[in-house]
Structure 1
Amino acid sequence: MRDLVANQLIKYLERRGVKHIFGLCGHTNIAVLAALSKSEKIRFINTRHEQIASHAADGYARVTKKAAVVLSHLGPGLTNAATGVANAALDSIPMVVIAGDVPSHYFGKHPHQEVNLHADGSQWEIYRPFVKRAWRVDRPDLMPEILEKAFALAESGRPGPVLVDVPMDIFSKEVDVELFDRLDLNNKFIHKPSLDEELAAKIISTLAAAKNPVIHVGGGIILADAAKELQEFVDHMAIPVSHSLMGKGALPDDHPLTLGMTGFWGTKFINDSCKNADYILGLGTSFKEADCSSWYPEFTFSFPPTKLIHIDIDPSEIGRNYPTEIGAVADLKQALTVLVRVAKKLYPVARKNAAMEQTIANQRKDFKANNAKMEQSDAFPMMPERILADVRAVLPRNAIITTDVGWNKNGVGQQFPIYEPGSILTPGGYATMGFGSPAALGAKVADPDRVVVSLIGDGGFGQNPAVLATAAIENIPAIFLIMNNRAFGTIAGLEKAHYDTTFGTLFEKDGESYSPDYAAIAKAYGVEGVKIQSAAEFKPALEAAIKANKPYVLDVSMINNPVPTAGHWNIMDIYSPGKKVHHVSTN
């Protein structure tokens, strides 16, 4: 029996359990859309820009912990999507991008929209630097095995996106259905490596003998769905836990042994706790620059004299940035399961660390007290601390937050408590402006019963305002909370501090501060929109938005004060050598 490749592609995705595809039409992929129109199991989320599609798929994958699917057109469609796919790659998010391409029989003739200046028929190579692998399907009979490999690679080992590039004529050719049917015999789950008990015992004994051990966790804990095992291990061994930006929420922020986020936006107490540790157990973390104060030993981590035990699914991360005394390649969920079992065998009675718990409690109390004035301020434009405090007070414990860059990422990492693992979605490695609002669409599609709020600056929201069209048409009730400081605020603060100018960073018209009316824009798209006029209006407006259960925009004017910093970033040394300068307020 023979059938069109496009039809069999959709049937394969259905059998694989794919429920949503994010994308945009083009003449190279309409055969797939036609096949998709007949599906009763897959919903197509139609976006107005491919970057929105790839960011939405990213948010979706972070919530479902399965590979999301993006459907793209060739040329400008594929390059539009590239930013979102690269963001997913740097944050290890599984994704399968299926892109149309020029007809195979026109390779080298420079047909419509072919990327052809230096290589013919090679648009797929654009993605090679950041995807785990890029395939071009040169024959119909290769499509089934490439699809199977694509999903397996995206979800196995260190997760990440892959590209399946398909010349448009391949979609419309017939293929033997048996080639797809035989794939059903394949197990779709690939088991990942674990720790042996001997190594686990060595790690446990080393940590138990340490004077000031710290566990430092990254986003790998969330990706491995290992938060429950992490908490069980921490509760038994009584070791304090710091985290990277991507590791926020792996252990709830109200757990008595959660230190908080390290690095440039970490507090002095958190950074000092890591710097003064004799042993650090790194779990699912790459020790990236922002989390490690540009690797300057006087600020956050100091290896040596601190010694490092590092467990990660990716062997290339072990020893990359710091020397490692014990390194192990393992899936974090399985590794922690073994560590818990061995810990309970070696130490049947759970260890206690009352002194550290009290120290952490005191530090939290002091930090909260120092922020109280800003959190309670009635100033308008609002203080960012007041915005975050009001949001946390209103949201349910399990609400999903998506962030962008600036205050809504750095300030949230430092000051906004996260209580449920995986409930904060943030652009880490790529720090992509414009991620937050499309990611909220994907998160809400993935888990419609949870409240989803995108905390996003006006600069970030302005990148992809067409997200509102998708929210309206698809009836995706995410809340877009625009922290509007009429600027690329973080960069403005940097430029002002180091060069005494804000050129190119403030949004102005004829010398006056300028902002579109995002509430009015929302209404034009058919989405509810409210422009907040005072600090007192904000909290009730957010409560109303949650209750409405429909797409909603809140445009909140905000003072552009910098996020307090205690760590270091070596760009400061590049801007102002030999000086102690960070950011300043532009208000």
Structure 2
Amino acid sequence: MMPEMSGGELVVEYAIREQVPYVIGLSGHSLLPFLEAVYQRQDRITHMMVRHEHVATCLADGYYRASGRPLLVYLHLGPGLANGLNGIATAALDSSAMVIVTGNTWQRHYGRNASQETSRFFDAEQASLLRPLVKRSWAVQRIESLPEILHKAFKTAVSGRPGPVHIDLSLTIQAERADLEVPDPSLHRVPGRQRGDAEQILRAAELLAGARRPVIVCGSGAKMSGASPEVLALAEHLAAPVGCAHRGKGVIPEDHPLALGLVGAEARLYANKLVAEADVVLAVGMRFTEPDTSSWQPGAPFQIPPSRLIHIDIDPDELARYYPTEVSIWADAKAAVGEMLAAVKARRPAAVAFRQDPRIQELDRARAAWLRSIEEAQGSDAQPIRPERLMKELREAIPREAAVFVDTGKVKNWAYQQFPAYGPDTFYIGIGWTAMGHAPAAALGVKLARPDQPVVAFVGDGSFQMVPWTLSTAVDYDIPVTTVVFNDMAYGAVRDIQKAEYEEHYISVDVAMEKTGARFNPDFAQLAELYGARGFRVEKPAELGPVLREAMGCGRPSVVDVLIDREVRFPVAKQRAFRHLPRY
């Protein structure tokens, strides 16, 4: 038996055995015994205190995406949990893992209106807040059950389709002591990759080998499983263009001749057209979400049928969910595509010379024509700065191997379409929940996971104003991430819809003084300096390149506040369904 331990000590000891590198959160009275246990083991696990719980959960999400390892996040009873919900929800919808521990009141105080206790329906209830957002939630009633709950929690978080899990720990359980064995994590894991059904792999290979216009579309499942080499090898063998769902951007380098880039609502038009004309579509680790399908509109990009669909996913609930599916393969993406490649080569040994393939040559011409169409905007010296010019300067200044984490809003649309990604570990976005202000904190997690990789966050001014205190954590722990603020003094994504579809009836979108109508934002560069970071403000296009390079090279957290033209509307490939709703 181990020496007698408290519940809090048991949680920390198990996290150490799981080789969790960081425990992160913000204190509260409901966590005091747990925090004492963390204090005593700082020789084995690094503690990080944030200034707002949103940073803790978003950072943990970014860390998992970049490393495949879950962090331990602690959240205070009630408001602390509520503050962390956006990061948890983003991780849930984007299949990213973390283990969340919430504090709770003493068990003897349940139902007695203890401080910050919610008990109008269930006593000391917190799990209901998280029910749609976690894979599993445990409320620990007895300390003897804690060892089993801990190994279940860590296994559940990373098994199958990853996601957050939750353990609710009362002060009673945190403080109580018992003689308990700390589980060995290696005895409670599911090693290896889930293989696809052999018959379905062969059926898929036959379809692909016989296809005349095959297309591959990859989501985050392809990136997370490390399937990029197999996807590229299969694509080159078949001369199959490779598009990406919104979470799959960068699955193959976007300067490869077979790269289509994004498909769906924010795609380049030629990419959607090519997918719509495919006779066979291989979907790898994607879920056919609303942005991927332009609200499931036929031909934007998917035309299924007549296209015949092969779908690979680690989550069986996602297979054959929206479209008729010729072959469904419940498997790890890397394993399934690798086996499929071998089966295709057995049936069709000779690879197609894709550079000479007429369809790929037509793709090359379409790509070149599209790039020519934005050349003038990319070179514009107009002030405020055109977004196309900013995207061009960002791509030239940011190293090819660097990682960017993109926030929601108009910034994500520009980045999807006009910021090429060159590898699976170079482009991240929170797109399922699309919480504003996610990227600045998530980028810190990427940097902690990959300290030698340059990391940049793209965020709009509206999003940045929701989370400026993220800079405190970056400065406190010397995490040198550069945040680029796309400052158009508006909530531009919604404003564009009002401009195009609602006769410019702007409401709740313009950042302005009520009495005068004058546009106003804080000076984000000065704000960064007040937090202890470097701050830069860019108003002239010629300043972009030098300032971006200085910010990224300064070795400190930095903010680059770029004033851009809010009247430039993003070129949408296909109208989304919400634009056709009745206006009432």
TM category, shorter: over 0.9
8 Å contact 2:200–2:327 — kept in the other structure? no
Q: Which amino acid aligns with 1:248?
A: K
User: What corresponds to 1:551 in structure 2?
Assistant: 557
8 Å contact 2:209–2:347 — kept in the other structure? no
Matched, 1:233 2:263: no
User: What corresponds to 2:425 in structure 1?
Assistant: 422
Q: 2:474 aligns with which of 451, 471, 474?
A: 471
Q: Secondary structure at the match of 2:47?
A: strand
User: What corresponds to 1:458 in structure 2?
Assistant: 461
Q: Which amino acid aligns with 2:474?
A: A
Q: Which amino acid aligns with 2:541?
A: A
Q: How does 1:234-253 map to 2 (within 5 A)?
A: 234-253=235-254
Matched, 1:512 2:518: yes
8 Å contact 2:272–2:299 — kept in the other structure? no
How far did residue 349 of structure 1 move? 2.8
Matched, 1:60 2:63: yes
User: What corresponds to 2:9 in structure 1?
Assistant: 7
8 Å contact 1:132–1:161 — kept in the other structure? yes
How far did residue 115 of structure 1 move? 1.8
Q: Residues 110 and 192 of structure 1: is their aligned pair in 2 closer, same or farther, counting only changes over 3 Å?
A: farther
Query: How large is the Cα RMSD of the aligned pairs?
Result: 1.6
8 Å contact 1:71–1:98 — kept in the other structure? yes
Q: Secondary structure at the match of 1:186?
A: helix
Please give the per-residue CA displacement for 1:199-240, whole angstroms capped at 9, x wherever unaligned: 322211211212211111111111222212212222222211
How far did residue 21 of structure 1 move? 2.1
8 Å contact 1:532–1:555 — kept in the other structure? yes
Please give the per-residue CA displacement for 1:457-478, whole angstroms capped at 9, x wherever unaligned: 0011111110011111111100
How far did residue 72 of structure 1 move? 0.8
Q: 1:28 aligns with which of 24, 27, 30?
A: 30
User: What corresponds to 1:306 in structure 2?
Assistant: 307
Q: Which amino acid aligns with 1:262?
A: V
User: What corresponds to 1:122 in structure 2?
Assistant: 125
Matched, 1:498 2:505: no
User: What corresponds to 1:175 in structure 2?
Assistant: 178
More moved, 191-200 vs 4-13: 191-200
Matched, 1:573 2:580: yes
Matched, 1:449 2:452: yes
How far did residue 524 of structure 1 move? 0.8
How far did residue 22 of structure 1 move? 2.3
Q: How does 1:35-74 map to 2 (within 5 A)?
A: 35-37=37-39, 38-74=41-77
Q: Secondary structure at the match of 1:504?
A: coil
Report how many aligned residue pairs link the two structures. Answer: 575
User: What corresponds to 1:337 in structure 2?
Assistant: 338
How far did residue 150 of structure 1 move? 0.7
Q: Residues 482 and 205 of structure 1: is their aligned pair in 2 closer, same or farther, counting only changes over 3 Å?
A: same
8 Å contact 1:476–1:550 — kept in the other structure? yes
In 1, the alpha carbon distance for the partners of 2:150 and 2:477 equals 28
Q: Secondary structure at the match of 1:512?
A: coil
How far did residue 58 of structure 1 move? 0.6
Q: How does 1:143-222 map to 2 (within 5 A)?
A: 143-178=146-181, 180=182, 182-184=183-185, 186-222=187-223
Q: Which amino acid aligns with 1:291?
A: D
Matched, 1:348 2:349: yes
Q: Secondary structure at the match of 1:177?
A: coil
8 Å contact 2:243–2:260 — kept in the other structure? yes
Please give the per-residue CA displacement for 1:481-505, whole angstroms capped at 9, x wherever unaligned: 1010001111111122222221111
User: What corresponds to 1:584 in structure 2?
Assistant: none
Q: Residues 538 and 202 of structure 1: is their aligned pair in 2 closer, same or farther, counting only changes over 3 Å?
A: same
How far did residue 305 of structure 1 move? 1.4
In 1, the alpha carbon distance for the partners of 2:300 and 2:192 equals 39
- TM-score normalised to the size of structure 1? 0.95
Q: Which amino acid aligns with 1:289?
A: E
Gaps of 5+ in 2: none
Q: Residues 185 and 516 of structure 1: is their aligned pair in 2 closer, same or farther, counting only changes over 3 Å?
A: closer
In 1, the alpha carbon distance for the partners of 2:16 and 2:300 equals 50
User: What corresponds to 1:581 in structure 2?
Assistant: none
More moved, 490-499 vs 464-473: 490-499
Matched, 1:19 2:26: no
Q: 2:144 aligns with which of 141, 144, 149?
A: 141
How far did residue 243 of structure 1 move? 1.3
Percent of residue pairs identical: 35
How far did residue 196 of structure 1 move? 4.0
Q: 1:399 aligns with which of 390, 402, 406?
A: 402
User: What corresponds to 2:93 in structure 1?
Assistant: 90
In 2, the alpha carbon distance for the partners of 1:359 and 1:73 equals 57
Gaps of 5+ in 1: 578-587
How far did residue 34 of structure 1 move? 2.1
Q: Secondary structure at the match of 1:496?
A: helix
Matched, 1:483 2:494: no
In 2, the alpha carbon distance for the partners of 1:252 and 1:527 equals 33
Matched, 1:537 2:540: no
8 Å contact 2:142–2:173 — kept in the other structure? yes
Please give the per-residue CA displacement for 1:6-36, whole angstroms capped at 9, x wherever unaligned: 2222121111111012211111113222222
In 2, the alpha carbon distance for the partners of 1:575 and 1:397 equals 44
